[in-house]
Amino acid sequence: MGFCTRCGRQLPEEAYFCPYCGVRTIKGVEAGVSIPVDEWKEAFHKAGQEMEKAFQIAAKEMEAAFKTTRANIRESANRRTVVCPQCGEKNLKDVSFCHNCGKKLHQ
């Protein structure tokens, strides 16, 4: 039987952790038994890696969406307009009727 290095109490021979204070015993160290905190650290590390991958994918998708949106805005801005003779509203060049008053547009 050994004694705990932290609290000094007597330990059972097969103990990997002190049943009184929870410290890992010499036998636990020699056996390579991990401390529960180590398992949490590893889990958080893995979660961090997965989040980093997800953010990289999201960043690429957002950049593609912004690129498409920019192109659509440029295309829309480059379209010419036709002014309605009835109400003076600007309409897209390729429409036949005014979107404001419904009058037929002459092209």
Tell me the per-residue pLDDT of 45-64, one tens digit each, with 9 for 90 and over. Answer: 999 999 999 999 999 999 99
Element (H, E) at 101: none
Cα 103 to the center of its chain, rounded Å: 50
Report the predicted TM-score, pTM, of the whole model to 2 decimal places. Answer: 0.43
Answer whether residue 59 is part of any domain.
no
Q: Which domain holds residue 6?
A: 1-38
> How many domains does the chain contain in total?
2
Dist. CA 29–CA 100, nearest whole Å = 81
Residue 16 has which token pair? 């990997």
Answer whether residue 13 is part of any domain.
yes
Answer whether residue 63 is part of any domain.
no
Dist. CA 81–CA 91, nearest whole Å = 5
Say which residue the tokens 């897209």 belong to. Answer: 92
Average pLDDT, the chain: 91
78: left (phi over 0), alpha (psi -120 to 50) or beta: alpha
Answer whether residue 51 is part of any domain.
no
